[in-house]
Amino acid sequence: MADFAADIATAPETVAAEQAVPDKAVPRAPVADPRPAAAPRFPTRVIRPAAPAREPLWRHALGEQFRALRHQRGETLAETAARAGVSPQYLSEVERGIKEPSSEMIAAVGGALGVGLVDLTLAVADRVRRTYPTAQAGAAVGRTAFALAV
């Protein structure tokens, strides 16, 4: 019988069960970090000089001008869009510079706002020139090209 008890005590299942569930939790001493103490790390931020303002895309400048004209007239998107023959969603996307309108759409929206194509083009060019000073470098070339186109 003693041999049987010794066999059970040393059976692999019994040994594994005893190791998995300890009777008492043994507190462990904290282990010191062997690495040398480093200086505290603070987030670094690279400050770069501001990039020069780039000229906007035509659709952004045109959309801003359409919105400014519409607000001057005190109109809603739906009112202007109905007169132009476009949906309010499309006009909103044009004003935000998301959609690139065709020349027909530009003429339709401009007509609904009471502005001709030449006046609209000059107003957009003036807005870009005032807002983005780098655009003034090519102003003479732009005027010459516009004069040749007319």
Residues 116-131: tens digit of each pLDDT = 999 999 999 998 888 8
Residues 58-67: tens digit of each pLDDT = 999 999 999 9
Structural contact between residues 93 and 65, judged by C-beta atoms closer than 8 angstroms: no
> Which three-class secondary structure state does DSSP give residue 97?
coil
Concatenating the DSSP letter of every residue in 13-28 gives HHHHHHHHS-SSPPP-
Residue ranges of domains in the chain: 58-149
Class of residue 28 by CB neighbours under 10 A (exposed 0-12, middle 13-18, buried 19+):
exposed
Residues 75-131: tens digit of each pLDDT = 999 999 999 999 999 999 999 999 999 999 999 999 999 999 999 999 999 988 888
Torsion of CA 126, 67, 110, 116, to 10 degrees: -30
Q: What is the mean pLDDT of residues 6-27?
A: 55
Q: What is the mean pLDDT of residues 42-64?
A: 75
Cα distance between residue 51 and residue 45, in whole Å: 17
What CATH number does the domain located at 58-149 have? 1.10.260.40
Cα distance between residue 81 and residue 70, in whole Å: 10
